[in-house]
Each structure stands twice: as C-alpha cells, then as structure tokens.
Amino acid sequence: MTSETIQPPKRSPRRRSFAPRYPGWLTAPSLIYYMIFFLGPLAILVVFSVATQAGFGSVSYTFSTSQFKALNDPLYIKVFRQTMLMAAGGTALTIAIGYPVAYWMSRYLTRYKTLALLLVIVPFWTSFLIRTYALKIILDPQGYLAHFVEWTGISSQFNVLYTGKAVAIGLAYNYLPLLILPVYASLERMDWKLVEAATDLGASPFKAFRQITLPLTLPGLITGALLVFIPMCGEYVIPQLLGGGQFAFVGTVIGSNFLGAQNWPFGSAMAIAFMVLLSIFVVIYIAFATREEQFGA
Amino acid sequence: MSDQSIDYDVEFRAITKRFGSLVAVNGVSLKVRKGEFLSLLGPSGCGKTTSLRMIAGFEQPDEGELLIGGSDAVGIPPYRRDVNTVFQQYALFPHMSILDNVCYGLKQRKVSRRERRAKAGEALELVQLTGRDSHRPAMLSGGQQQRVALARALVMNPRVLLLDEPLGALDLKLRKEMQIELKRIQDQVGITFIYVTHDQEEALSMSDRVAVMSNGVIEQLDTPRAIYDHPLTAFVADFIGDMNFLEGRVAESADGGYAIDAGEGVVVRGRGHPAGAAIVRVGIRPERIVVERGNGSGTANSARCEVLTKMYLGDQVQLILRLANGSEFVVREQRTSAAPAIDSLEPGDTATARWDEAAPLLMADLQPQKDGE
C-alpha cells in the first residue's frame, strides 16, 4: 500500500460575484479634497490655538495653553452659555412648530404629500441671507405685522426685532426643514395599528401619542433636533441681523477676534473648545442612532 | 331557541357603513350570544373586517344601531369600550418588553403594579408563553408574538374579544396548532369571541356559529354543520367547501321530492320543494358522488361522464369529470384502502357518476336577508 500524502484541496474556481467591484483608488480624489480643504484648515486652527499673539494680526509659534486658560473667564463662559441657551430655545421652538407639521403631513395628507414636502424644502432655494433680511422687514416695529398685532390688541407695543425673541424666531424659521424632514421620515415608518392597539387597550389619544407614537418617533426627533441644534450654536448671521448685535453668540465672538481684535490664537482656541463641546452632542446622537437600529422602529 | 333566555353581547341593528361610494356593510343585523365563538367568514372586501372595526370602535356606523352588552355603543370611542382586539399583524409595541405589552391595558386602568404583574403572568400562562417576560417582541417568532397579542387582550377580561384574522401570518402547521389552542382558551375563559377570517376551514373547525358574508351582507348565519350541509345560497355553497352545480328545468315536483332535467339525459332527483322558478340550481358535494367504471344507464341521479384529470391529494384521490351535458364535476375518494375504486380510472375513460337522493341541495337565489340571531 502506498501512503498517500494529503493533497491540499484543489482550489475551486473562484465564485463569481456579479456585484460590481470598484478599485479602492477611485476614492482618492474625494479623500484628497477632504484632506486639503477640511482637515487642512482644522490643523491650522489647532496650531493657532496653541500659539500666542505677537502684536496686531501676527502669530508667534511657541507652544502655549494660555489661550485655553483665558477662556475660563466669566465673560466667555457667559457667551458659551448664552449661545447654548439660545440654540436650545430655537430648537424647542423648531420642534414645537415642526413636529405637528410633520405629523399632519404624514397622517392627514394623502394626495398632496409630495407637494407639501416640496413646500417645506422650497425656502432652501433662496439665499439664507435674503430670507433673514426678509424676516427683519416682517419683524420691523413699523412693519405690517407690527401694525396688525397692535390693531388686534394682542400687544400694544410690538417690539420684537433686536430681542432674543427675534433671534429665536429667525433660528426656528431657518432650520425648520432640517427638523421636519427626519421627523416626517420617522412618522412615515410608524405603524399606526400600534396606536389603534393602544386605544383599544384603553389609552386616550393623548396617552397613546405619549406612550406609543412619541417614543417610536423619538430617534427621528432627536436626529432632527441635533441637526438644528448644532448649526444653531454656530450661528453668526441671525444674531447679528435680528439680535442687533446684542446677543453675542460664540460665532460672533470668534468672528470679532479674527476680524476685529486680530487675535487669531484666541479665536482659534475658542473655536476648538466649542467644537469639542458640540462633539459631546454628536456622541449622544450616535448613541441614539445605534439604539434606533436595535429595534428598527 | 327562545329569544328571551339568551343574552346578547353584541347586537347589530340594520347597520350600514359606507366609505365614499363603496358600501362596506349593507344593513346588517346580527346578534352575538354571550360566550359563543362566532366567526365572520367571507372573501376580502365582504365587510367582515369593517364589522369588527365597528364593534371595536375604530369605525362608526353610518346607519343603524350597535349595542354592546345591551347598551348603545355608537359614538363611544375604542378606549371606553369593554372589548379588546387581537390584530392581524399582532401590533405589539416594539419598544416595550413582553411583560410591559401585556400590562399596558391594565396600566391604563390604573391597576396596581403588583396586580398587573400577577394578572399578566396568568394571561401569559394561559397562552403558554412563559419565561419571555423581558424579551422584546422582535425577538419572538410569529407564533409566540401571536400568543403575546392574545394575552395582551385577554388580560383585560373583556366582554367580547375581537380577532382579526389572527392566524393569517402563520404557516399552515402552526395555524392548525393555534386553532386548537384558541378553542381551548375560549372554552377556558368563557369570553365571547368574534373571529374574522377568510379561511372556511378555520371558521368551521372553531366556531359555534358562522356568519358567511358577501358584498356587505350576511348570506347565512348558522352552525358550521348546517352551513356545510344546508347552504342557503349558491355563494355559501361555493365558498364553503367544494360544490358541483347543475342547473335545469323542474320536470316534476310532488310530495317533498322533485326531478330536474339538466339536459342530455342528466336527471337529478332530490328532496324538498323547488321554490317557484321553473329553472333551478342544485349543488352536490364532491364526497357524496360515487364514480364507477363503465357506461351506466341514463336513470335519475346517475350520469354518464368522461374522466378529464386525476390528482393525488395525499389522503384522497380527486377526479375531474365532464358530464354528458357538459358540466364539470369534482369527485374525491378517501384512500382508506390501498387501491380505492376510483384509482382504477384514468383520464379519457368513460364512467358513471352516481349519488343518492339526499345529496342534491336546492340553491335558493339570494333572498332578502332575514334577521340574524
């Protein structure tokens, strides 16, 4: 008997997959663009933030954390807090307006759903700046709205422009579509039989909403809320135009450091610190997003 | 049965429900007895689900009266009705545990936490699903989810339990198991079950009474046996089981018997009185027909035919025959012996189909609906 050596199994003909496979280097152009124009500025910002100011508008590249230490000042902490509070207020107002609109579109519109969606997006086709100026005209104490409000007697003095209210209205108006769309998407995926089941088991419509619809659309609501909250925090134009410069947002202060005081290292440090702060919210968002996948509601 | 001695849990009085120009339920009257298992059976779009949804309170009737437990229920929202529903796709709350799903209704009633848990535990035991309390619905199989949906409704101890094709999403084997389960549970709890289905076998095997619906009306309401043995209309006869139809002129009618000439020497002799019309229709169940080889004589209830197709259905052999007058008949024989007589016939053979006088059922045309009871 001859002892057979164990032959390695013959390689079976490669299983062909008909899914197209593209070579990895095709991503190179996007990656290069991304590195130059996104990571590049970010790197410069980091370098500036640990440098020091050497005279008006020039930078001395010596490592120092003094810029970050300088941030720990009641004045700047107040700006950070005010920015977050204004953005939170704007987000709350956006939710208060956006959720009912999305709910109404998803549940009660049948034939005109697409049209309604289009109308939600239409303002995005006009320049953000122009729309904010338009809002300024509407909120003007001498404007038609002011006259109307005073005529109806709701308020004898329509003084909204250059107040926190005007900033909140401007924020809510500009970011509304960013909230409506994800909330609408989550409502579209909602199984309304569940609400029927809840009322069948004795829940009033309000309770059914709170216990069933809201938790199941919460992932969409959180996505939308973060999608509006984060850019609201970085808002620059709206507090300038509608707050009359009385509401210093972090963005305003950073801008004045770069353009006015020409203190680039301090402006950079402030920008980095704020970025880290906002990242915390992004982390929360990712945590929720993965939870959403778990029960795929 | 006398009306006075029976209590009704649900009563429809000439209820009509429209959706736009479509009449989903058309003047239906129905009385559901306390503790009975009643099925609403019919093809899709016959109005059975709409009827159920009106009892649940998800739809309101346009006309007529609806009584639940003897009192007017029109306009009362679902959350104030003493009925609960088991939904077709279970409709379990995906973000809650099994236990929280079952406890949900009791929580709305503000039952204490301890009592909720005790009752939910009992309900889950009743449907034989224990040890899954903390699972999410998505982690359970279809059959298990069905049990949770049942427990969630039963724990409320409603006056009436509504079941909307609850077994529709399950595979055949599981469905048969659940049919037996449902019947057992109903016997155990004694709650009135109203069961919507399009599956005639399901309705016949579980129900005390079956209401066969078509085009928004109840065609017949009776016990499963009566529905199968004495269908009142051609629709019921055709929808429940298989039926071979013959149409013809009444040749004679006397003394509770009649003869119908269906043409080409096919003569049907049966019992009963053909009502009025000169042309009547009779139905004969496939299992009531015997097929024999050879060219039989052209006497009554014995028809010459040709075998068109032969099929094995596992436990039965089925033949499709063409009678001398052109009608097609389905005939089946149980394979109780190794070689059933019917098995010797092959397509193309000439044979004789025979039945006895009790087999032909006279079909009435659809009559104005009688008050269901």
Interchain contact, B78 vs A196, CB within 8 Å: yes
| Range of the structural domain that residue A250 is part of | 74-261
Interchain contact, A203 vs B104, CB within 8 Å: yes
> Which residues of chain B have a pLDDT value below 50?
1-5, 366-373
| Position A290 in a domain | no
- List, in order, residues 6 or more apart from B245 with CB less than 8 Å away: B234, B237, B238, B281, B282, B283, B327, B363
* pLDDT confidence bin for A152, thresholds 50/70/90: confident
The alpha carbon of residue A295 is apart from the nearest alpha carbon of chain B, in Å, by 7
Look at residue A249 and tell me whether its pLDDT is greater than 80: yes
Residue A99: alpha-carbon gap to chain centroid: 16
pLDDT at A9: 54
State how many domains chain A has: 1
Look at residue A1 and tell me whether its pLDDT is greater than 50: no
Chain B contact set for A211 (CB, 8 A): 104
* Domains, chain B, ordered by start: 3-236 (3.40.50.300), 242-363 (2.40.50.140)
Chain B contact set for A295 (CB, 8 A): 94-95, 136, 138
* pLDDT confidence bin for A7, thresholds 50/70/90: low
pLDDT at B371: 42
State the alpha helices, DSSP H only, in B68-220. 98-108, 113-126, 142-154, 172-189, 200-206
Determine contact, residues A207/B108, Cβ cutoff 8 Å. yes
- Residues paired with residue B83 on neighbouring β-strands, in sequence order: B160
* Residues of A at the B interface, defined by Cβ within 8 angstroms: 191, 193-194, 196-204, 207, 211-212, 215-216, 295-297
Nearest to B284 by CA among B323, B320, B244, B249: B244
User: Within 10 A of A249 (CB to CB), how many other CB atoms are there?
Assistant: 26
pLDDT at B223: 95
CA angle A236–A240–A242, rounded 5-degree value: 115
Interchain contact, A202 vs B56, CB within 8 Å: no
Nearest to A295 among B85, B94, B108 (CB): B94
pLDDT at A142: 85
| Position A46 in a domain | no
Dihedral, A196, A198, A200, A201 alpha carbons, nearest 10: 170
Nearest to A202 among B87, B91, B105 (CB): B105
pLDDT at B92: 95
What burial class does residue A40 get, using C-beta atoms within 10 Å of its C-beta: 0-12 exposed, 13-18 middle, 19+ buried?
A: exposed
* Residues of B at the A interface, defined by Cβ within 8 angstroms: 56-58, 77-79, 83-85, 87, 89, 91-95, 104-105, 108-109, 136, 138, 152-153, 156
Q: Which two tokens stand for residue B20?
A: 């736009």
| Position A99 in a domain | yes
**Per-residue burial over B92-105, b = 16 or more CB atoms within 10 Å of its CB, e = otherwise:** bbbbbbbbbbbbbb
Residues A40-49: contacts with CB under 8 Å, at least 24 apart: A45/A268, A45/A271, A45/A272, A46/A268, A46/A272, A48/A264, A48/A265, A48/A267, A48/A268, A48/A269, A49/A265, A49/A268, A49/A269, A49/A271, A49/A272
As for the ipTM of the complex, it is: 0.82
Distance CA A191, CA A210 (A): 15
DSSP state for residue B233 in the 8-state scheme: B
pLDDT at A193: 94
**B371 φ/ψ angles, rounded to the nearest 5 degrees:** -60, 120
| Position A157 in a domain | yes
pLDDT at B120: 94
Interchain contact, B78 vs A199, CB within 8 Å: yes
Interchain contact, B109 vs A202, CB within 8 Å: yes
Interchain contact, A193 vs B95, CB within 8 Å: no
The alpha carbon of residue B203 is apart from the nearest alpha carbon of chain A, in Å, by 24
Q: Look at A198-212, A277-291, B64-78, B170-184 and tell me which has the smallest mean pLDDT.
A: A277-291
Nearest to B108 among A196, A202, A296 (CB): A202
pLDDT at A297: 40
What burial class does residue A98 get, using C-beta atoms within 10 Å of its C-beta: 0-12 exposed, 13-18 middle, 19+ buried?
A: buried
Interchain contact, A199 vs B138, CB within 8 Å: no
| Position A193 in a domain | yes
Taking only the tens place, the pLDDT of each residue in A65-80 is 888 888 888 988 899 9
| Position A221 in a domain | yes
pLDDT at A211: 95
User: Within 10 A of A93 (CB to CB), how many other CB atoms are there?
Assistant: 19
CATH of the domain at A193: 1.10.3720.10
Q: What three-state secondary structure class fits B4?
A: helix
Look at residue A90 and tell me whether its pLDDT is greater than 50: yes
Nearest to B245 by CA among B235, B253, B255: B235
